[in-house]
Copies of this chain bind each other. A is one copy, B any other.
Amino acid sequence: MPMAGLNEGALPMVKEMTERAALLGIRAGRMKGGAMLIDCGSGREVTGSYEAGCRTVEAACGGCARAWTGIGAIGPYTLPILQMNIASPADACLGALLPLWKVRAGGEAVSASGPGRALARRPPRIYQMIEMDEQADDAVVCLDAGWFPDDDEAGRIAEACGVGVDRLTIILAPASGIAGAVMNAALVAGTTVARLIKYGYESDRILHASLRVPVPPPSLDAERVRDAACLGGTVSGTIHLVVAGYDDAIAGCVSGRCSWTASRDTRLTAPVAELTVTDSRDGSVRRFGACDPGKALEHFGIRRRSVRPDRITAIR
């Protein structure tokens, strides 16, 4: 199912982030060259927020997803939990959400996601596979980077997207910040959909995806947050899929645990802890895998202790 409009779909989130920047703990402004830059958490002055993270995720999915975070129990701790509902999961995840495009920002190579990637068609084989032909006058690109792109770099991104630089929005959400931690947690949905397709399931038969996953603690060490988000998903991420026809390939989404230290390469092919699959053709429901909140705490670097929840306790 070719579907255009993901960049346009991201514009309402961009609008909210620029108009209500201070209230979301972020900053937005035009670069000299004309590109709109939304800073969701670089440095210490802009702290970001869980709401800004959710808007970033929604924009990165080209408006096909709704994302929100609440807090809930993960073992004895009460931690942020991200939930997402994703329509057209193959387009949203493979076509936009996953950071599969390398661009330069601040002189460094960083991973780019968002619907702008569908305009640049990077990597090209993805867009052939999901038969997606995005056309747009505006481009929205998300960078997991703490470094601001300069005007040259923004210009090159706009050029790759085939839009004027003044029609380009760059959302900076480094993994080290609150918004970036949410964004990395959302990738768990993307990797599951990617796995499903890699294992031979047809992308246009994936009708809907919902995710529930703990958000790792932000930290100055971005790489550690990326690892924690990925590994948190492999032990405590839950996905509900609606598919047109069940196939045994789907079970592969939960198989093959990651090693305890996720690497840059294995991160985008990591399994999810738990998967429930509803077949819209016969209404059958299957479940695979299981969540282990205790292991999520370990991956988040939180020591685990037995706690009696009915009394006052201090866990440091």
User: A-side interface residues toward B, CB under 8 Å?
Assistant: 1, 3-6, 9, 20, 22-25, 44-45, 47, 49-52, 62-64, 66, 69-72, 76-80, 83, 85, 87-88, 177-178, 207-208, 210-212, 216-221, 224-225, 228, 238, 240, 242, 244, 251, 254, 274, 276, 278-292, 300-302, 307-316
Contact A78–B218 (Cβ < 8 Å): no
Chain B residues whose CB sits within 8 angstroms of the CB of A284 once the complex forms: 217, 301-302
Central interface residue in A6, A62, A218, A290, by most chain B CB within 10 Å: A290
A210 in complex: contacting residue of B80, B87, B88, CB < 8 Å? B80
- A282 (CB) vs chain B CBs: closest residue: B219
Q: Do residues A25 and B88 form an inter-chain contact, with CB atoms below 8 A? A: yes
A87 CB to closest chain B CB (Å) equals 4
Q: Name A291's contact: one of B3, B286, B309, B316 (CB within 8 Å).
A: B309
Whether the pair B71, A210 counts as a contact (CB closer than 8 A) is yes
Given A208-B178, A313-B290: A280 and B22 within 8 A (CB)? no
User: Hey, which chain B residues are within 8 Å of A278, CB to CB?
Assistant: 79, 217-218
Cα A224 to Cα B284 with chains together (Å)? 12
Which 10 A-B residue pairs are closest in the complex by CB-CB distance?
A219-B283, A49-B87, A25-B87, A47-B207, A217-B278, A217-B283, A9-B23, A23-B63, A287-B315, A285-B302
Knowing A78-B274, A280-B218, A282-B220 touch, does A312 contact B254 (C-beta < 8 A)?
yes
Q: A80-B240, A287-B315 are in contact. List 15 more A-B contacts (CB 8 A).
A: A23-B87, A25-B87, A25-B207, A49-B85, A69-B210, A77-B285, A78-B276, A217-B278, A217-B279, A217-B285, A218-B278, A218-B283, A251-B314, A286-B314, A290-B310
A62-B23, A281-B220 known; A50+B301 contact, CB < 8 A: no
Name the distance in Å between A303's Cβ and chain B's nearest Cβ: 9
The reply to whether B221 and A85 form a contact with Cβ atoms under 8 Å apart is no
A312 proximity list for chain B (CB < 8 A): 254, 289-290
A311 and B285 form a contact (CB under 8 A): no
Q: How far is the CA of A172 from the CA of B238 in the complex (A)?
A: 30
CA distance A167 to B141 in the complex (A): 38
Taking a contact as CB atoms under 8 Å apart, the answer to whether B47 and A208 are in contact is: yes
Instruction: Determine the distance from Cα of A227 to Cα of B278 in the docked complex, in whole angstroms.
Output: 17
